[in-house]
Structure 1
């Protein structure tokens, strides 16, 4: 067995600056842990984190194309990571803030999950990346 813990997730984005600003406002990802530019590869990256330990890397490569999904299940048609799941303290508040104030597109409204005390919802960030919001009665 290899002992491991989660480090970060990486999202390919079209506009690094815009996504950096959006995730900073939406989730408090304002601390820059790493920033790297590889001009020979045409790639710019930044790893951002927040005080609760969430870490996300954003990678910008000109000419990349977005993955467009109309719902969380169509995302599973391609064998890759399909969404970023985030536990939030209040699902209804988070969903409302992200969709009304931050400009996230609602994908599925808050509803019951499989686990008895779990509820979930999906939103898409400004570039269409799926985010699953999970709320439970447990922290």
Structure 2
């Protein structure tokens, strides 16, 4: 069977406040380019696809009446059969963690720690609406 040669395009997050989350992801990850906006007024849905211009894309979807789902940590997230968290590769874990938890106000879930693979480190934070984000640094060499 031939390979599909699929590549990751974007992740989609359902949010309560589209404008606030747009600002936060712009400041936190440099997702300042708007690739697409959709306003489905009759369905009570607004979306924005944000990009950093280098391949990272996040689609934020605000739907009237949506309900929050929050996972306090990655193990709790594994109890639900759905996407548990958004994992992002960062070149400097300590700097990214400090930026998100200091400048951007992300809530700490777990501080930087060694990962299971050699040269890997990770940390977890919550965005302003409690979406679980994993930051991963891989040191080569």
When the two structures are superposed, what TM-score results if normalisation uses the length of structure 1?
A: 0.96
What are the residue-to-residue correspondences of 1:51-62 with 2, within 5 Å? 51-62=53-64
Aligned to 2:51: 49
Where 2:20 maps in the other structure, the secondary structure is helix
Aligned to 2:137: 135
Q: Which of residues 98, 101, 110 in structure 2 aligns to 1:99?
A: 101
When the two structures are superposed, what TM-score results if normalisation uses the length of structure 2?
A: 0.95
Aligned to 1:12: 14
CA separation in 1, counterparts of 2:74 and 2:66? 21
- Deviation by residue 1:68-91 (Cα, 9 ceiling, x = unmatched): 212111011111111110011110
CA separation in 1, counterparts of 2:72 and 2:52? 29
Deviation beyond 2 Å, 4+ runs, structure 1: none
5+ residue gaps, structure 2: none
- Deviation by residue 1:21-80 (Cα, 9 ceiling, x = unmatched): 000001000101000011121100000100321000000012211112121110111111
Aligned to 1:72: 74
CA separation in 2, counterparts of 1:52 and 1:9? 15
Where 1:99 maps in the other structure, the secondary structure is helix
Q: CA RMSD in A?
A: 0.9
